[in-house]
Amino acid sequence: MNKFTKGVILVMKKFFTAIGVIAAALALSFSAMSSATAAPRVPVDMPTPVKSRIESTAVVPATATEQRTCRARFTEGVNHRRLAEVGSAILEVIPADTWVPVSCERGSGGQYSACGLTSDYWMEVFWNGAWGYSAWSCVQDWEYTS
């Protein structure tokens, strides 16, 4: 083989190697883009979460550091409990449609079924001189008072 032929073969090897590297890079970039933009798979039998009756109507304060007070009333008489658990001592029953001072945020606790919903969210409530907890799912109206 002469020098010219060896030189052509070497150039062709480099050329085809470069094409192979470029093709591999393109294939990897396309597969990465398609997996990043693919929608997450959701099981068909997964239940849709139930939104609280008041969750979408509450107005959020302008700043998070702003001190607020709130009040709420319940759709039916609810237990006013010492702790946010179904087995906790019942302090009293808060009558339906009675406005009571409450915390401005719901909190998590033990799971319960009340007012047609199952939840683990509780509302901290001030009733007859004591702070306690009542079922969030029974809240009919909730609002900022200041």
pLDDT in tens, 82-121: 999 999 999 999 999 999 999 888 899 999 999 999 999 9
Residue 6: phi and psi, rounded to 5, are: -60, -40
Per DSSP, the three-state class of 141 is strand
**Residue 116 in domain:** yes
Per DSSP, the three-state class of 66 is coil
Domain that holds residue 23: 1-46
pLDDT in tens, 17-52: 767 667 766 767 666 555 545 444 444 443 333 334
Beta-carbon count within 10 A of 92 CB: 14
**Residue 138 in domain:** yes
Question: Sign (positive/negative) of CA torsion 74, 78, 82, 85?
Answer: negative
Overall pTM surpassing 0.95 (yes/no): no
Is residue 88 domain-shared with residue 138, that is, in the same domain? yes
- Give the CATH number for residue 93: 2.30.30.40
C-beta of residue 132 within 8 angstroms of C-beta of residue 123: no
DSSP 1: -
Q: Name the domain count of the chain.
A: 2
